[in-house]
Amino acid sequence: MDRRNILKVIHFAGTVWFMLCTGFVFIMAMWEAGFNWLVIFSLSGYLAFLITLLVSIYLFALFRSAGKGPNMEKEHPFTSTSYYLSFYVSAPLLGILAGVAAVIGEVKIIPFFTSVALGTQVVTFLTWVIVDPVVSMLETLAPASREHRLYRLAAEKQRREEQHLEQEALLGRIFAQQEHDRRRWVETLVADAAKLAELLKVRTANFERAEHEAIGIGVRAWQTGGIDCMRQLRDTAIRMHKENYRDFVFTDYISAWWDGIGSWRTAATG
């Protein structure tokens, strides 16, 4: 087991111990306040769930950030050392020593464990909430740390800008390809569009034949360019019909004729 994994195990053990001490202090405080054990155990369940949830989120964030070693060592040369990390993760366990030192000579069990639990909480709070943030802030003021941080932020900004340019270039290629496809479809299917425009003036007697021809045109359009090609062909045919056959009442038979071809659905395209 390497050093980082050992520190994770110690930190996990210390965090679990801190949770147990917090629960113990909570229970003793309620007991001394005169609550009965039924109420104490009921509230302790909610407290245990809350503490477990918060600590789980904290440990998840801690373990996910464990891979940021190189940058952290350059920007935080002191707090990333093995000695400091060992002190940091061992804070709850060091609190045991503080609690024991405060009650040397005490023979009663409850005061002894209460002192140990309070010692764990005090040392952990001082280390994780006060000492660590202050030390981390102070070491970032060092010239080397500031220089590396500025360099890292500049590199990240440049990387984001490059990714943005790549995305814009990709979108540009996609739009250009789509426009090229539309022009190709217009050139290829212009005869089909004219035929569809003519079929839209179908009479009742020839409706079945017109539907059969329209389905064949729709299948070719689907095979040529999918649903987008079908939409463009339909719109072109409708426009040509309205321009060339103004004396006929327009009815959009195409949407119904093509229902079920590929992904064409009448309700979604009408």
Structural domain spans, the chain: 3-155, 165-269
The model's pLDDT over 242-263, given as tens digits with 9 standing for 90+, comes to 888 888 888 888 988 998 898 8
pLDDT at 160 over 70: yes
Angstrom distance (rounded) from CA 178 to CA 196: 23
Please, what is the average pLDDT of the chain?
A: 79
The model's pLDDT over 90-128, given as tens digits with 9 standing for 90+, comes to 888 888 888 888 877 766 788 888 888 888 888 988 888
- Smallest CA-to-CA distance from 85 within 157, 120, 136, 32 is with 136
To which residue do tokens 């306040």 refer? 33
- Smallest CA-to-CA distance from 96 within 112, 114, 116 is with 116
Angstrom distance (rounded) from CA 64 to CA 79: 18
To which residue do tokens 């590929």 refer? 262
Band of pLDDT at residue 178, cut at 50, 70 and 90: confident
**Per-residue pLDDT averaged across 56-74, rounded?**
54
Q: Which residue has the higher pLDDT, 97 or 270?
A: 97
Strands (E), the chain: none
| Residue 2, SS3 per DSSP | coil
